[in-house]
Amino acid sequence: MKYFYSVSQDRAVETKIKRSRFIAHLRYVSTMPEAKEFISEISAQHKTANHNCWAYIVGEKGQTFHSSDDGEPSGTAGQPMLNALKKHDMINVAVVVTRYFGGVKLGIRGLIEAYGDSVEQAIEAEKLLKLVKKISYIIETSYAFAEIFKYNAEKMQAEITNSEYSDVIKVEFSIEEHLNEDLENYINELSASKKIKVL
């Protein structure tokens, strides 16, 4: 199973390369309009910067992506930024790299490395958010069967999230979608034999 990643909260990491300041801003976005709004927001905050280059990837499998060099030589900013996101299997993410020019030209190769590295540093600054589709269940069962059920569900990699005790036990749990098949069959069998009630 291939996982995708994003960021759980906004982050900004600044690096200095030959007197130029590069500030990489990352944000979780789920749609193209959200990505564009973020790009506009950062560009407005840094309107005195020489460049606000950007890239974003959205869609369930990262099928929609776009980037811009914002005045830097073609292919030296947006594409290296996009490549950094793709290298880390990131989706639902937008990045803006703000550059304040420090008076020393970096050249084509230098720019490609500077923009790519500044995004890499922002990605590696904190742990990424793993994007996983989960399926949630709630069942009711007897006191006699509850522990057996929990044990078997956890063996199938389900995560028990809550248990409520009254005349019966209500169990809430979830599982990553790609692991669900065996658990779903088990739940259907127990439901048919009246050992549990699916809510």
**Same domain for 112 and 24:** yes
pLDDT of res. 3: 83
Of the pLDDT bands very low, low, confident and very high (cuts 50, 70, 90), residue 61 is confident
Q: What is the CATH number of the domain that holds 66?
A: 3.30.230.30
Residue 91 carries which side chain, given as an amino acid letter? I
pLDDT of res. 134: 87
**Same domain for 88 and 31:** yes
**Same domain for 145 and 124:** no
Task: Give 20's contacts (C-beta < 8 A, 6+ positions apart).
Answer: 99, 100, 101, 102, 104, 106, 114
Strands 93-100 and 51-58, bridge-based pairing: antiparallel
**Same domain for 119 and 47:** yes
Q: What is the CATH number of the domain that holds 186?
A: 3.30.70
**Same domain for 141 and 124:** no
| pLDDT tens track for 2-44 | 789 999 999 999 999 999 999 999 999 999 999 999 999 999 9
**Same domain for 106 and 12:** yes
CA 119/CA 126 separation, integer angstroms: 12
Q: What is the largest CA-CA distance in the chain?
A: 76
The helix-helix angle for 78-87 and 107-124 (nearest 10°) equals 40
Domain end residue (candidates: 130, 157, 184): 130
Domain end residue (candidates: 102, 130, 158): 130
Cα separations in angstroms, 55 against 61, 83, 88, 165, 176 = 16, 9, 14, 50, 29
**How many domains are contained in the chain?**
2
Cβ atoms of residues 17 and 77 within 8 Å: no
Burial (CB count <10 Å: 0-12, 13-18, 19+), residue 12: middle
**Same domain for 105 and 21:** yes
Domain end residue (candidates: 130, 148, 182): 130
Domain that holds residue 194: 132-198
| pLDDT tens track for 74-108 | 999 999 999 999 999 999 999 999 999 988 899 99
Better pLDDT: 2 or 143: 143
